[in-house]
Chain A
């Protein structure tokens, strides 16, 4: 059965994924909007940077984050000067890493949704004297609702599935950085296969439900049926 340590790991994982998803929606929405609407030359490079975590091994991100957020790193100096202390081995550090790691999974669905809206509805809103901000919230956001749903689910699920970066910058601290994936790894290493099975099985069930939800909520999938 699940031990108290397992339950703590599950709770921590949900908390991490929840905080990360909220932050990602706040940061990712303007980024996706800009990427969807801009005629700028910078669209390509910015889009590529956002997509980097999809192709980079987690070890690359983990390595750079460990150095950047350490006492010698740029970020580490900033956080120390700001009185936050150092980010590695802390929940806040994992949030920062997860935001970077899951960014493309939130930005890309949103960008696709915004691009699908096209200029028409926004021009119509403008002729009705809606400010750009008003048009964004009362026209673009409701029209992009499926995109927001997909982005939320993918951002959350992808953060739950994070492992490599956490192993590198987490330090395996109960209630702070020991998430489910790391807890499973520890169970396997210690040959506690029974406990590993419970958690691993729960992850499979969770991931299946998430993907099923995505499939059912996906508008293109619905149109086909």
Chain B
């Protein structure tokens, strides 16, 4: 019984320690940011062990809708800078919209050597299913559609498209072998798990609008020092070098 009480006391202590010592925020981030942001967070945490930062990943369009409806997110990292801009225009942001990176899309496949492919090769009906994110609300899906149209293969591939709820689900369709190829984020294709299974080729930026990514501190986190500090940290050399390593370019010029 005493031992139980001790365990309980330790648990309570562990749970309350970080919140006593530092701040606590929740970040909603586009699915393409998953690996890069986790690494940036690891750096930030080792320098600020008292702070608690929770993350949730999904499609940028969904988070935009949820934040408009009062979702408890303190920061919003969007794969399309338009969404945070919209929120800022509606008075839902407590910071300026910060552009943190430009994303790239890649053609990724497990069953074929994507390094020798172009979008035109997708016209081949032997490629039965092609995964993209939902162009209706996922920025990477929208850019994928633009690229397929610009490459002149949209008509040929349209009936073979399978649409993921966000870019991570599109990747998962290819990863499980259910789709033969996918147009996904470079930042996901560089992940060890995906890179070891398949190969990718970066889609020329001339084929689609740039994937400008931006973040805001939301209105509910106005005056939250941790959100402010983490926002500043995103501009630090450490964070920026991690972003570059995960395939994000820091300005459009740098990407070319």
Contact = CB atoms under 8 A, between A and B. Distances in A.
Contacts of A173: 161-163
B236 interface: no
Interface string A71-103: 110001000000001101100000000000000
Contacts of A167: 165
B109 interface: no
B2 to A, nearest CB: 37
Interface residues of B, number: 21
A38 B178 CA distance: 40
B220 interface: no
B164 A171 contact: yes
B177 A186 contact: no
Nearest to B129: A89
B178 A189 contact: no
B178 A188 contact: no
Contacts of A71: 177-178
A88 B162 CA distance: 10
A189 B162 contact: no
A172 B158 CA distance: 12
Contacts of B178: 66, 69-71, 86, 88-89
Contacts of B129: 86, 89, 171
A172 B163 contact: yes
B199 interface: no
Interface string A167-180: 10001110000000
B144 interface: no
A190 interface: yes
A86 B163 CA distance: 16
B20 to A, nearest CB: 35
Contacts of A189: 59, 61-62, 65, 134, 136-137
A200 interface: no
Considering the complex of A and B, which 7 residue pairs feature the smallest CB-CB distances, nearest first? A171-B162, A172-B163, A189-B137, A71-B177, A88-B178, A89-B162, A70-B176
18 contacts: A71-B177, A72-B176, A72-B177, A85-B128, A86-B128, A88-B162, A89-B129, A89-B162, A89-B178, A171-B131, A171-B161, A171-B164, A171-B173, A172-B134, A172-B165, A173-B162, A186-B136, A189-B61
